[in-house]
Amino acid sequence: MDSRTVIVGGSVGGIRVAQALRSQGYTGEVTVIDAETYHPYDKPPLSKSFLDGTLSYDRLYLISEEEVRDSAIDLRLGDRVVGLDITGSSVILESGPAITFENLVVATGLRARPSPWEATDGVHLLRTLDNAQLLKEDLLGAGSVVVVGGGFIGAEVAATARSFGLEVAIVDPLKIPIGRVLGDTVGERFTGLHHSNGVSTHFGTGVERITGAKGNLSVELSSGAVLLGDLVVVGIGAVPNTEWLVSSGLLIDNGLICDEYCRAAGQSNIYGVGDVARWYHPGYQALVRVEHWTNAVEQAACVAHNIINPKESDSYSPVSYVWSDQYDWKIQIAGETAAASDCVLVEDPSNHARFAAVYSNRSGSYCGVATVNWPRAMIQCRRLLDKESDISIPLNLITALLPSV
């Protein structure tokens, strides 16, 4: 049999595996299958520059049509993989045929967690291009929106809706939603950012009911308050798309369980990549699943390497990195900020919309960094995170960037 790698899922993880295979010299067939009919597109802009109209769909392509052709990537869109036969080394398509593989890459990502509330008309989720398109159209005709979920997606949608001039309220059960990721001191600044942009926050309270229809929705909070909105956006997380693997024999538990080489547990030729993969991170000595764009790209390169060089496989031990754009803040986060025990803030006196937060763990070692509007400080600190260092080292680097007094 000719060698063939089948990649299930055409979002960033899947497409980057296909590209990395070619870039690293793979000569077998490369087939990418995705249930969506759109040319593979990038998702981060859907809550930001696509939603606000800055970027059109054709600017979201993850790979050009020309590169698909030149790299001989067999792209099969609009077909869903419904099953996996491990013994027969094949995947089964909804349209009927089975495709055999020498290597399989599971890149099916996540889907938005559905709204558990009653109302549906005017209630939006945001994960896919179709979601974003519908939301965009509705935002343009609306006067107010209630955003349920104060994480990054919720905050980005709130910021975009505000830029359209809508009245915006945002709800989250946590008192300081971003505090979960960045600690309460920094998290409170994010809450303040909503306020200074005229968004009302209802944090520390859950949603009991959502009733009504587009143009006239009521969001009843556990605090007893009722928020009215023309639209509701529900951003309460996402769940792995692993149903097609349930009867395959692969180990599924909040994602596809993989070893440190990103191979599905107990398998030699099946890999997981991106949001759906829950792999053993050698650095943390734990199974982790990371829902970040950069992780998908880095993991894709590792998976491609391991497909081509199974005898010289690399383990995958990345330093986490994520960004978010909210109002006029360009936010970048690297390393382990959520589990940190201490945080030191560095402000730039010449620019009040710019700061850095440097995190240390229980033993006082540097473990993560977050910056606002400060890419240079971020990269200097991010580069240090692959080894152990004292927190004074990143702090000195950032201080050196400040204008001299």
Partner 1 sequence: MPIIKADLDLCQGYANCVMEDARFFDISDDGVVVVLQEEFAKEDRTRVEAAVRSCPVSALRIEE
Binding residues (CB under 8 A) for partner 1: these are 16, 19-20, 23-25, 42, 44, 293-294, 297-298, 301, 321, 323, 330, 332, 373-376, 378-379, 382-383, 401
Q: Which is nearer to partner 1, 33 or 378 (CB)?
A: 378
Three-state secondary structure call for residue 244: helix
Torsion over CA: 227, 233, 235, 241 (sign): positive
Quote the least distance from Cβ 86 to partner 1, whole Å. Answer: 30
Residue with tokens 């993560």: 368
Of 35, 41, 29, 33, give the one whose Cα is nearest residue 65: 41
Q: Which is nearer to partner 1, 250 or 378 (CB)?
A: 378
Quote the least distance from Cβ 25 to partner 1, whole Å. Answer: 8
Quote the least distance from Cβ 323 to partner 1, whole Å. Answer: 6
Helices 293-308 and 12-23, axial angle in degrees (round to 10) = 40
- Concatenated DSSP letters for 273-296? -GGGEEEEETTTTEEE----HHHH
Torsion over CA: 231, 236, 240, 246 (sign): negative
Quote the least distance from Cβ 382 to partner 1, whole Å. Answer: 7
Three-state secondary structure call for residue 148: strand
Q: Which is nearer to partner 1, 176 or 297 (CB)?
A: 297
In sequence order, what are the residues at sequence separation of 6 or more whose Cβ sits closer than 8 angstroms to the Cβ of residue 180? 174, 187, 338
Q: Which is nearer to partner 1, 24 or 211 (CB)?
A: 24
Residue 89 φ then ψ, to 5°: 45, 55
Q: Which is nearer to partner 1, 112 or 378 (CB)?
A: 378
Quote the least distance from Cβ 19 to partner 1, whole Å. Answer: 6
Quote the least distance from Cβ 45 to partner 1, whole Å. Answer: 8
Q: Which is nearer to partner 1, 42 or 156 (CB)?
A: 42
